[in-house]
Structure 1
Amino acid sequence: MELRLRGVGHSYGARAVLRGIDLDIPAGQIVCIVGPSGCGKSTLLRMMGGLEEPDEGEVLQVGEAPKQCLNPLTYIFQDFALLPWRTVAGNVSLVLEDHGISRADARERIENVLERTRLTEFAGALPRQLSGGMKQRVAIARALVVNPAVMLMDEPLSALDSQTRELLMDDLISLWIRTPFTAVYVTHNLAEAVRLGHRIVVLSRRPGEVREVVTLDKPLEARAYGDADLEVKQKHLWELMRAEAAAADAELIGG
């Protein structure tokens, strides 16, 4: 299944947030969205997920969802959103409980996704016993267990320290190489974008418009920290954003 956005625009009262967004999210790709503060990145993600309706244009779901898909769209947030009284396996199982699947199917799904995210030995642990990076891996496992058509990821690594972010990026790349998934990944971090994205959508300052879509042809498995090619791409992204980022920050400070 693909997402297609056509002429999407949105305002909060008199303040225009997004304008004229035309964008395709191809199946099997990670599409990163970057842009100055306040340019509407998270609003755009909410519209893709159906949490908000655009004032203009439309968001289309095209094609069939994957086999055994329980939720076509699922979110991963920066705050983990784990229930502290549930174990790792219990937090993952939570999203299966309203789907009427058999216990055997649920158990198979949970075991599979814990193995994929390297959490099997922590299945009985509580969130308070886990590091921040481990908690986010649980959140990723919980999203994957419903076999979604598209994962919508809103700054999923921004609450983590730099070392943990690097490890989680490695985890996401390994997951994608093993079983390619479709994701829209909102981030302020350009290094994350060039490390993870097959395509990077650069939005202008508010009202956000698509300024450029940057394609990265280098395979995910060939990318690494300190990669010279990625640094060139990252510099290009910053040159696109530099002036507007400064102007957006000044605008936010001024209210």
Structure 2
Amino acid sequence: MEIQLKGVRHRYGEMQVLEDVTFNLPTGQIVCIIGPSGCGKSTLLRFIGGLERPDEGEIQLVGERPAGCLNPLTYIFQDFALLPWRTVEENISVVLEDHRIKGREAERIISDVLGRTKLTEFRKAYPRQLSGGMKQRVAIARALSVSPAVMLMDEPLSALDSQTRELLMDDLVELWLRERFTACYVTHNLAEAVRLGHKIILLSRRPGRIRQVVQIDMPLEERAARLMELEVIQRDLWALMRDEAMAADRELAHDN
């Protein structure tokens, strides 16, 4: 399933947040959205997820759902959004309960996604017993349990330390190589974007417009060994956004 955005515009009161945003999320690709603070990245993700509606423009889901898809779209948040009184397997089962999936079928799905995210031995653990990286793996397992057509990832690694972030990027690459999932991935971190993104959408400072679309054809599985090439792409992206990032920080400070 592909998502197409055409002419998306939005304002909050007198503030224009997004202006004429048009791009597509191809099936089986990770599309990263980057840009200065306040440029509308997370707002755009909420529009894609149907949590809000833009003032103007179209957002369409095109194509057939994958086999077994329970939710066409599902979120992965930076704060993990786990229920502290539930174990790992119970945090996953909560989304299955919404679809009245219980018993053996729920057990089969939970065991499957725990295996796919390397969490089988932690199924009875509570969130307080897990590291930040493990908590985010639980959030990813929960998202996978509904076989989404598209995963919407809002700064999913920003709450983690640098070493854990590197490990989770490796895990996401490994998972993508097995699953070929589709994702819209919002991040401030340019290193994450060039490591994980098949396509990178660079937004301008507010109001967010598309400044650049960068297609990275390097296979995901080769990127960990080709970091110098990725650093060139990262430097080029930073050169494009540096002045606007500084201006955006000044604008946000003034607004506050």
Equivalent in the alignment of 1:53:
53
Work out the CA distance in 2 between the residues paired with 1:55 and 1:4: 16
Deviation of residue 225 (structure 1)? 6.7
Deviation of residue 179 (structure 1)? 1.1
* Contiguous gaps of at least 5 residues in structure 1: none
Contact 2:33 2:186 in 1 (8 A): yes
Does 1:126 find its partner at 2:99? no
Work out the CA distance in 1 between the residues paired with 2:226 and 2:130: 29
Does 1:163 find its partner at 2:186? no
Work out the CA distance in 2 between the residues paired with 1:87 and 1:102: 16
Following superposition of structure 1 onto structure 2, how do residues 132-211 of structure 1 map, counting pairs within 5 Å? 132-211=132-211
Following superposition of structure 1 onto structure 2, how do residues 73-112 of structure 1 map, counting pairs within 5 Å? 73-112=73-112
The worse-fitting range, judged by mean Cα deviation, of 163-172 and 104-113 is: 104-113
Tell me the SS of whatever aligns to 2:232.
helix
Contact 2:96 2:102 in 1 (8 A): no
* Contiguous gaps of at least 5 residues in structure 2: none
Contact 2:150 2:183 in 1 (8 A): yes
Q: Could you state the TM-score of these two structures normalised by the residue count of structure 1?
A: 0.98
> Cα distance 1:207–1:225, how it changes in 2: closer, same or farther (>3 A)?
farther
Deviation of residue 101 (structure 1)? 2.9
Work out the CA distance in 2 between the residues paired with 1:98 and 1:251: 42
**How many percent identity over aligned positions?**
69
Work out the CA distance in 1 between the residues paired with 2:184 and 2:230: 19
Give the partner amino acid of 2:246: A
Work out the CA distance in 2 between the residues paired with 1:82 and 1:112: 19
Deviation of residue 102 (structure 1)? 4.9
Q: Could you state the TM-score of these two structures normalised by the residue count of structure 2?
A: 0.98
Work out the CA distance in 1 between the residues paired with 2:92 and 2:239: 41
Equivalent in the alignment of 1:20:
20
Work out the CA distance in 2 between the residues paired with 1:231 and 1:209: 24
Equivalent in the alignment of 2:219:
219
Deviation of residue 175 (structure 1)? 0.4
Deviation of residue 103 (structure 1)? 2.3
Work out the CA distance in 2 between the residues paired with 1:221 and 1:103: 37
Work out the CA distance in 2 between the residues paired with 1:35 and 1:213: 12
4+ long deviations beyond 6 Å: none
Count of matched residue pairs? 255
Deviation of residue 106 (structure 1)? 1.4
Equivalent in the alignment of 1:8:
8
Work out the CA distance in 1 between the residues paired with 2:228 and 2:157: 23
Deviations 1:137-191 (A, max 9, x none): 0001001110000000000000100000000000100100011100000000000
Work out the CA distance in 2 between the residues paired with 1:11 and 1:105: 44
Give the partner amino acid of 1:33: I
Work out the CA distance in 2 between the residues paired with 1:141 and 1:162: 22
Work out the CA distance in 1 between the residues paired with 2:155 and 2:169: 12
Work out the CA distance in 2 between the residues paired with 1:209 and 1:55: 15
Equivalent in the alignment of 2:250:
250
Deviation of residue 108 (structure 1)? 1.2
Contact 2:197 2:216 in 1 (8 A): yes
The worse-fitting range, judged by mean Cα deviation, of 99-108 and 192-201 is: 99-108
Deviation of residue 251 (structure 1)? 0.7
Following superposition of structure 1 onto structure 2, how do residues 234-245 of structure 1 map, counting pairs within 5 Å? 234-245=234-245
Deviation of residue 226 (structure 1)? 6.8
Give the partner amino acid of 1:27: T
Give the partner amino acid of 2:211: R
